[in-house]
Amino acid sequence: MSSASILGIDVGGTKVESALVDADGSVRTAHRHPTNADRGAHRVIDDIVRCVRSCLSQASRRAVAAGVGVAGQVDPETGVVRSAPSLDWREVPLRERLEDALDLPVTVANDVRAITHGVWTHGAGHGTDNLVVVFVGTGIGGGIVSDGHVLKGGQGLAGELGHTTLMPYGRSCRCRSRGCWEAYAGGWALGERARQAARTDPEAGAALIERAGDVESITGRTVHEAHEQGDPLATRLVDATAEYLGLGLASVVNAVNPERVVLGGGVIEGHPSYAEEARRIVRAQALRPAADEVEIVTSELEGRAGTVGAATMAWTHHEGGEATQKPPDSQAGRPT
């Protein structure tokens, strides 16, 4: 396998990224393409195929398989995307359509479950058999490694940490439930909480409104930028988000007892203070000795996490192993 490469494809609501990845996790070529999510699954799949072909056109070798990570719920046996809210997808047979278009074997999984494979094999999760990966971006996604196996679950949904309950009967979540961790600590939730605060007290929200242009245009990014400029309301919102993140993580540590937690995603990468506060709260709130022994670190893969993770997951499939197990020589090329 060392002489072969696999495609890693990361599909999001605004863009698709593809990369040709070697067995040691190194990226040979990569390409990014915007998605037309509002035009339906057929157009997005066309975008994926165009992105892959552009990526491969830069390479000196062909791919032997492809792995795809999608922000949504995926049936890992069939490769059907059951639900992907950011793409407005339901019951999309993604594996079948991509295998037909690319003439390659394709493995499809939830994006953060795919990232978990990459983090465990080539990143900050290497060297432990009990790992939790939490990526905070627009939402909160997770993956769990327990006793040397990536947890899969009965329907392939293990790791939906963002939809564990943080506040009973609390804020509405995009999953149709209430009080989910994501509905308090996810990027979309920060924007929503900020808009509500600015509507309630326009004077306190004046800096956010001015920065965004109007109340309805306030996003999580608006809040973070205003926080960096010292705006009091933005600072309160960011501090509350950090607390929600830490409290949710303390519950995960209690439930799973990982040796290591790897935090990543756009929110964490842009604002390291979230990771620092999460460490503090876990130490104070989680059960001992789990709280004392767990390491909480940030991802080393950063922007490559989605594509490297998807390729690593497919690498195992291509070798004939179980996608829940680490490739046998995964130490090759590990970042130091």
The whole-number pLDDT of residue 332 equals: 37
Instruction: Indicate the SS3 state at residue 32.
Output: strand
| pLDDT digits 0-9 by tens, 163-204 | 999 999 999 998 889 999 999 999 999 999 999 999 999 999
The whole-number pLDDT of residue 246 equals: 97
Residue 130 near residue 316 (C-beta atoms within 8 A) = no
Separation CA 220–CA 226 (nearest Å): 10
Query: What token pair was written down for 115?
Result: 């990232």
Instruction: Indicate the SS3 state at residue 202.
Output: coil
Query: What token pair was written down for 288?
Result: 């001992």
Query: Which of 115, 44, 172 has its CA nearest to residue 309?
Result: 115
Residue type, 102: L
Beta strand 260-264 with 131-136 is: parallel
Provide the β-strand partners of residue 141.
135
Query: What token pair was written down for 169?
Result: 């009967």
pTM of the model: 0.88
Please enumerate in sequence order all residues whose Cβ is within 8 A of that of 120, keeping only pairs 6 or more positions apart, or say none: 126, 128, 131, 133, 145, 150, 326, 330
Q: How many helices (H) and strands (E) does the chain have?
A: 12, 13
Give per-residue burial for 232-252: e unless 16+ CB within 10 Å, then b. Answer: ebbeebbeebbbbbbbbbbbb
Residue segments in the chain with a per-residue pLDDT below the cut of 70 = 1-3, 320-336
| pLDDT digits 0-9 by tens, 118-128 | 999 999 999 99
The whole-number pLDDT of residue 322 equals: 58
The whole-number pLDDT of residue 85 equals: 82
Residue 118 near residue 149 (C-beta atoms within 8 A) = no
The sheet carrying 27-34 orders its strands as 27-34, 15-22, 5-11, 63-70, 106-110
Q: How far is CA 205 from the centre of its chain?
A: 30
Max CA pair span of the chain: 62
